[in-house]
């Protein structure tokens, strides 16, 4: 598993972490990806969904059936999820302007979370929205929608942002992966999470992969 660490170091070096990237108004199509796993066995279903960034209407959906070939190891999630996710993305007939995934990007032990892998491997602007804390803490987040607090490493580097997308719900954790800055990533997150805690991209991909997996188990 040393190769995995070497690969993450390689990807981290290839990631574009300085470009501001596309602002919300500059994105026409935004894609979301997610993977669902069967309780029994190693079957999985990956989903890729493309939404109209303006209306959030679904433009295209793709699901691929696959097999888990890598265990879940905190810090190595990309190696478990990416093979099937890439396969689903390759089935799309449109090329999205932006990619949103579950989990972290820069806010990762080696600065190489899923969003970094996905962004570098696709060459598309990409950031991650995680639902639970990982390795970085933050100050209290205001209660109103849009309130935020930086995720900071020990040496004071800002690696992400805890962001409240809805009042009365826990914040999400945004971190960039490739070719987009944190400010734009958070702006996109808020636009994609108008009604719910999570971005519509994540909700749609999660729903699609879960429903398709259910049809397999039946």
Partner DNA sequence: GCGACAG
Partner DNA sequence: ATCTTGTCGC
Residues of the shown chain interacting with DNA in the complex, contacts defined by CB under 7 A: 34-37, 39, 72, 74-78, 102-104, 108, 113-115, 128, 130-135, 206, 209-210, 213
Using the Cα atoms of residue 74, residue 80, residue 82 and residue 84 in order, give the sign of their dihedral.
negative
Strand order through the sheet with 29-37 = 58-67, 43-52, 29-37, 98-102, 126-130, 172-178, 158-163, 148-152
* Cβ-based nearer residue to DNA, 30 or 112: 112
Ligand-binding site membership of 102 (annotated): yes
User: Closest distance between DNA and the C-beta of residue 104, in Å?
Assistant: 4
126 three-state secondary structure: strand
Residue 27 or 45 with smaller CB distance to DNA: 45
CA distance 133 to 149: 13
Give 26's DSSP letter: G
Q: Which is nearer to DNA, 35 or 182 (CB)?
A: 35
34 labelled ligand-binding: yes
Nearest distance in Å: CB 93, DNA = 25
CB of 151 to DNA, least distance (A): 12
Q: Which residues are annotated as a binding site?
A: 34, 102
């Amino acid at each position: 598993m040393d190769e995995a660490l070497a690969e993450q170091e390689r990807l981290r070096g290839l990631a574009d972490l300085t470009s501001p990237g596309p602002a919300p108004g500059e994105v026409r199509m935004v894609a979301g990806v997610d993977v669902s796993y069967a309780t029994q066995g190693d079957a999985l279903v990956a989903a890729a969904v493309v939404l109209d960034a303006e209306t959030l209407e679904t433009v295209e959906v793709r699901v691929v059936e696959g097999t888990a070939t890598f265990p879940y190891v905190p810090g190595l999630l990309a190696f478990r999820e990416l093979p099937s996710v890439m396969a689903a993305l390759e089935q799309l007939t449109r090329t999205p302007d932006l990619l949103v995934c579950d989990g972290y990007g820069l806010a990762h032990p080696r600065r190489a979370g899923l969003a970094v892998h996905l962004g570098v491997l696709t060459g598309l602007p990409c950031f991650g929205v995680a639902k639970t804390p990982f390795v970085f803490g933050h100050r209290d987040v205001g209660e109103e929608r849009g309130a935020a607090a930086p995720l900071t490493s020990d040496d004071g580097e800002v690696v992400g942002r805890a962001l409240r997308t809805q009042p009365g719900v826990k914040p999400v954790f945004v971190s960039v992966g490739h070719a987009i800055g944190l400010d734009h990533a958070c702006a996109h997150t808020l636009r994609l999470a108008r009604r719910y805690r999570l971005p519509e991209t994540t909700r749609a991909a999660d729903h699609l992969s879960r429903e398709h997996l259910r049809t397999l188990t039946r």
